[in-house]
Each structure stands twice: as C-alpha cells, then as structure tokens.
Structure 1
C-alpha cells in the first residue's frame, strides 16, 4: 500500500477524489452476518424478504460502511501524519443489493485547529458511497486528526 505524506496544511476545503468500484456479493453479506452475528431476515432470509416491499435480501448498512472505508484506504493510501478521530452523521439512505457496485466520493468539508493540541488539526471529510446508479447508499463524515507541518 502506498504511503502519502500529507500534513494539515496540505488539505484544502473542496479537495476530492473518487475510489475504484467494488461489486457487493451475496457472499459478502453472509460473511458479514457471520462476523457480526446480525442475522436479521432483511439480510439473510430470501423467503421472508419476498414478502416485503424490497423483495430480496440487502446488505447490512455497517457492512457497506466498512467496505467503503476500505475502498478509501486503498485509493488514498496510508498517511503517517493522520489517524481517524471518528465518524459523524452516518446514514444509509438507499439499500445495497448483491450485484450493486459501490464507490466512494471523498470531499474535504472543513478544517479546524484541534482545541487541545496546537500541533494537530481536524479535517472533516464528507464520504458519499454511491451505487452504479449514482444513488447515495451511505453518507458519513470522517474526522481525521492530523499533524501540522508548521504548528
């Protein structure tokens, strides 16, 4: 995996990139159910789903979020000057089904000084996970704790 050496000062509000795509499979959903213990019928019971408005099993929201996070790391690389501070406003406005291909558009939404550590700042990235129809299937705001080059 590539290393990216970017400091707080190297990020600008409005900067963006889009990841490669990844097709979600039924195996992804089953494996996530096994790892998480979430066997809700919405994800694992095709017969039950057939009686519901969505008609077929769909991906767990947190699975979509996790895969989206991995796509971002693969696209951007590892930055030794920053680390995840957390996520805000995670939403799943549309369903993801097996066969859907997702990708993530990442945009720097804001920058601010860290209130306690003058040598670091906080960057908030808006992460929009899109399906092949350009519908948002996951939205999250990722806060990155990042070192300043010139504190």
Structure 2
C-alpha cells in the first residue's frame, strides 16, 4: 500500500505532497451543482463580477476535498479505516478558476485506540497553497489508521 501504517507516523512528521492541481471552471460548476449549492458567487459570472472579488469563487468545500485528496497517496491510501472528523477548517484566501493548488501535511498527534487494538488515531494538519504561495485552506483531520499486520 502507498499509505502508511499507524506505526510509520511520528508527531511532527511533515509531507510536501508532490501532486498539484489546477482548478477549472468545470470543477467549480459541477461540484456546486452536484451538491445543490446554488450560491451565485460560484455559478453566476455577472453576479460575482459585482462583488469585491470581481469573479466567481471556487466552492470552499471543493477546495477542502482537493486538499485532503492530494494528501491521500502519501499518507492514508489503503491504510485508513476512515475519517473520524475535521476541525478548525479555515479558508484564509479565496480560490479562483485557474489557480494551481498544492498541499502539505503535518502529523500533530497520535494515540492508540482504546476500543480497537488493531488501529490508532492520527491527527493531521493539512494546508493548501496556491501558485502565489498564499495559503488558501487549512484544517485538522482525525483519521483511524490501521496498524501494521502481524507477520
């Protein structure tokens, strides 16, 4: 598996994920439509042109999902049981069509599961940056991670 087992993480460990992704108009319109988010800031170019941003904003939940998705290959691919939650989600700068995003991850905390001896809990901090080196998203995520199988 590409992902790491619980024992392979350490507090303070960081990942500069190699994947980048340019966000397109299609990404924003399709995601907003699929999730029934009819906010004109995402969908209506004329409306958005009249705002302080002067253009449509990318749906922040898309940005959150992309940020976490970029991290999966290096951290949790095939080794996670599941996400337990997200906290302290912030979007300090907007994302626009054409922005290219990259992500970083830091391990903040780890603990053994009290009820499941084959897993541990890892708390990640994910950050997302645009091509101008501006942070556009940050969150903490708690994931239940498999322990290495007994040999």
| Closer, same or farther: CA 66–5 of 1 in aligned 2, 3 Å | closer
- Of 10, 13, 28 in structure 2, the residue corresponding to residue 12 of structure 1 is 10
Cα distance, 1:149 vs. partner?
Answer: 4.4
Give the number of aligned pairs: 149
Matches within 5 A, 1:25-64: 25-64=24-63
Q: Which residue number corresponds to residue 107 of structure 2? A: 108
* Distance across 2 between alignment mates of 1:33 and 1:106: 26
* Distance across 2 between alignment mates of 1:100 and 1:131: 6
Q: Which residue number corresponds to residue 66 of structure 1? A: 65
Unaligned runs of 5+ in 2: none
Matches within 5 A, 1:75-90: 75-76=74-75, 78-80=77-79, 82-90=81-89
Contact 2:4 2:75 in 1 (8 A): no
- Tell me the alpha carbon deviations over residues 46-87 of structure 1, each in whole angstroms, 9 at most, x when there is no partner: 111121111100101001111222222244462335432221
| Closer, same or farther: CA 63–81 of 1 in aligned 2, 3 Å | closer
* Distance across 2 between alignment mates of 1:27 and 1:53: 22
TM-score by length of 1: 0.87
| Closer, same or farther: CA 91–73 of 1 in aligned 2, 3 Å | same
* Distance across 1 between alignment mates of 2:104 and 2:139: 11
Cα distance, 1:7 vs. partner?
Answer: 2.7
